[in-house]
Amino acid sequence: MMIKTVLHPVADLTKAKEVYTALLGVQPQADSEWYVGYDVDGQHIGLVPNGGPQGMTGPVAYWHVADIEAKLAEVTNAGATVKEAPHQVGPGRTVATFADPDGNVLGLIQDS
């Protein structure tokens, strides 16, 4: 299990895309009005306009896991609170978010 995806909410997608393209040194692999994503050295960096439907207020790191339901149950049993229940966001990809006891939002991704 490792962090391979970090999503950033951005107010101005066009301006943010210019900065992240300069920072990462590559053009985005996904480029639409609702999401811009970069794949660099096994890491995925995503830009989400206005925090998207999930209402992100800061960057969210996503751990890639084999069983999202089991891992979500494990962290909630340990004291986390589910923010976004597991749901599909694309073919074969399920995501969920939860908050730790201090309110930090963390994410899980399962690819099948």
Structural domains for the chain: 1-56 (3.30.720.120), 65-112 (3.10.180.10)
In angstroms, the Cα distances linking 90 to 26, 94, 112 are 23, 7, 11
Q: pLDDT tens-digit profile of 59-98? A: 999 999 999 999 999 999 999 999 999 999 989 999 999 9
Question: pLDDT at position 32, please?
Answer: 96
Q: By C-alpha distance, which of 63, 72, 97, 101 is closest to 83? A: 97
Question: pLDDT at position 90, please?
Answer: 84
Is the overall model pTM greater than 0.75, yes or no? yes
Question: pLDDT at position 48, please?
Answer: 95
